[in-house]
Chain A
Amino acid sequence: MPPLLEVDDLHMHFFTRDGIVKAVDGVSFSLEPRETLGVVGESGSGKSVTALSIMRLIPEPPGKVVKGDIRFRGDSILAMGEKEQRKLRGNRIAMIFQDPMTSLNPVYRIGKQIAEPLRIHKNMSRKDSWDAAVELLKQVGIPQAADRARSYPHEFSGGMRQRAMIAIALACGPDVLIADEPTTALDVTIQAQILELIQEIQARTESAIIMITHDLGVVADVADHVLVMYAGRAVEFGTADDVFYRPLHPYTWGLLESLPRHDVDEKGQLCPIKGQPPSLINLPQGCAFRPRCAYSQGVCTMERSGLVEITPGHFSACQFSGDSGFVEKACGFLSRER
């Protein structure tokens, strides 16, 4: 049986006046029901573009999938017509956006906005969809849901708006829920509430979740699998335990070492990754991480390694990841601290 969602060597490029921006340049992963995939990377790593590509929300032009495919239950989303895509979007695959302040329409009542996908996809009547919306608001933990459904977005706080966004995404009982930085705009205590809610919903609905974030803490909290992205490319993919405790790619090491921690006793020295992320128009030859990598060799400039399965289910895009001696030596720091 084909996986629920499969992204296969996706290349999404933007053709602009100033050159080709390779926003996504080789990303693969697959997702099974009930799984949570954490996608981590810094700004410009292509994580959001990947999500928007799955939703087919990238305007074409300037965007264009130059290579690769996205399959939902084995059917290519890219080959679908507009009508079929619409059936999928908001129905089988739903998305939660980063900014709860701008992603709700200020002129409609919250209840109406939650009811909208139900009316579109399930042909529900005005009355039924409204009742369903109130029920959904209850499910996402909004008190006095019947009254609050009549409110407008500006009457909601940031955390409540994000709950409302989640209710909209959940309305049709999607198989895949894509959450693009759902807690970045929120305060820590509210973030904890929302993360708890997302996990609770997953336990109840069995939908698969793609959690896009720059925060490794959030990933550690919710993800079963982790995809690490850098400069539009997937550099490491594996189970959360693999990626956090047995990372293979130097970029992942760099990320883990850059993080100040509040849960260990002493203050360790932070080891930042040197330099700046590359321009997506002008990517370095070979491995995109090479100019910032402490372990780069001549061969890294020549060729670029795609994701290679090193141990079962654990992929890395580094030339040297297969050499266990090297990996053990280089990331010995991890075992020291934990």
Chain B
Amino acid sequence: MAPDFFEDPRRRDIGQAAEEQTFGGSEALAETVVAGRGRTLRTDAWRRLRKNRLALAGLVWICFMIILAASADLWVPHFFGAPTAIDTSKVAQQSLLSPSADHPFGTDKLGRDILSRTIYGARVSLIVGVVAVAIMVVIGLILGAVAAYYGGWWDSIVMRTADVFFAFPYILFSIVLIALLGFGLQTVFIAIGVIGWPSIARVFRSSILSVKNNEYVDAARAMGASTPRILFRHIMPNAVAPIIVYGTMSIGGAILTEAALSFLGVGVQPPAPTWGNMLSEARSSLFTAPWLMLYPGLAILTTVLAFVLLGDGLRDALDVKLKE
């Protein structure tokens, strides 16, 4: 099977051969790329997230809670009574009812429906989680960026302030803040947001510093790009991924903090239901009516876990460098 070979094809026409190899090699190049066409980074990230079962479960659970909380006004009062409504049909017998068809999660001391209160509690928890984290992210991003970009004195001031915040016992700190600003939902947002920013600032600062060292930032400078362009086009998009991850996980943390504050009686005030003050009220009847503690407790556990799992999944999903 002697192949009837020509002259050496590479030598035969050096000019042409070189041309083929350096310029026209595109078919050969295209062939080796396995990935499909027209995919964006976002669809890629979504695809990777979907592969992570736990993260997906977290996402589904969060969506479920949001829908429950958002639509509560439409159906909860109708079926289970308003969260603050006392079931007066037979007052004496209706308090501390164990779960039944009428009250699937039972009732509390005052005869209020636990299911209804848990669903309305989700409203407070989710709103507190999201808004408080939004506040800490805004403060953290700005201060983290300032520290990383300007460096020197700015860096020292911001980071040392953050250290001072870390050194404070945060529950005490927020109680002091609340005492200063008065009770209310807004106060809870502010208290949690203000104590939470240092971690965000720290994560963002180190993320920017590592991105800043990449050659593509130098490349942009070498092209003559302006500082805002470098910052917003090249540094920020590559530096925010950890913030998305950390922020998502922080929502869980904020929900916990809110619960802790309400449990201590300095958060959202009764009769408005939150998971934290429900737990607080359940303390006295822990052994006689355990469901009082069980359902809000479960709600906190699952929701916080859902945010943490989602955050974990996002970490992998948002990493562009992870090749398939």
Contacts and interface: CB of A to CB of B under 8 A. Distances in A.
B32 interface: yes
Contacts of A332: 8, 11
Which of B2, B3, B10, B34 has the most C-beta atoms of chain A within 10 angstroms of its own C-beta? B10
B324 A294 contact: no
A318 B163 CA distance: 65
A326 B5 contact: yes
B29 A276 contact: yes
Interface in B11-25: 11, 14, 17-18, 20-22, 25
A323 B2 contact: yes
B9 to A, nearest CB: 5
A265 to B, nearest CB: 18
B14 A282 contact: no
Given A269-B18, A282-B34, A325 B28 contact: no
Interface in A54-69: none
A292 B28 contact: yes
Contacts of B32: 275-279, 291
A32 B146 CA distance: 63
B1 interface: yes
- The interface size bin for chain B is 20 to 34
A203 interface: no
Nearest to B25: A274
A83 B2 CA distance: 53
A15 interface: no
B29 A272 contact: no
B31 interface: yes
Interface string A308-334: 000000000001100101100110110
A193 B18 CA distance: 37
B5 A329 contact: yes
Contacts of A319: 1
B270 to A, nearest CB: 50
B2 A274 contact: no
Contact of A330 (B5, B21, B31, B324): B5
A332 B5 CA distance: 13
A320 B2 CA distance: 8
A297 interface: yes
A271 interface: yes
A268 B71 CA distance: 76
Interface string A270-309: 0110111111011000000001101101010000000000
Interface in B169-226: none
A297 B3 contact: yes
Given A271-B17, A279-B34, A295 B1 contact: no
A295 B12 CA distance: 13
A167 to B, nearest CB: 34
A200 B321 CA distance: 43
A275 B11 CA distance: 18
B34 A333 contact: no
A279 B34 CA distance: 8
Nearest to B32: A276
Interface of B: 1-3, 5, 7-11, 14, 17-18, 20-22, 25, 28-29, 31-32, 34, 51, 324
Given A277-B32, A295-B9, 17 more contacts: A269-B14, A271-B14, A272-B22, A274-B20, A274-B21, A275-B32, A278-B32, A291-B31, A295-B3, A319-B1, A320-B3, A323-B1, A323-B2, A326-B3, A326-B5, A330-B5, A333-B11
5 contacts: A275-B29, A291-B28, A295-B5, A319-B1, A320-B3
10 tightest CB-CB pairs across the interface, nearest first? Answer: A275-B28, A274-B21, A276-B32, A18-B324, A294-B9, A274-B25, A271-B10, A294-B10, A272-B21, A269-B14
Interface of A: 17-18, 257, 269, 271-272, 274-279, 281-282, 291-292, 294-295, 297, 299, 319-320, 323, 325-326, 329-330, 332-333
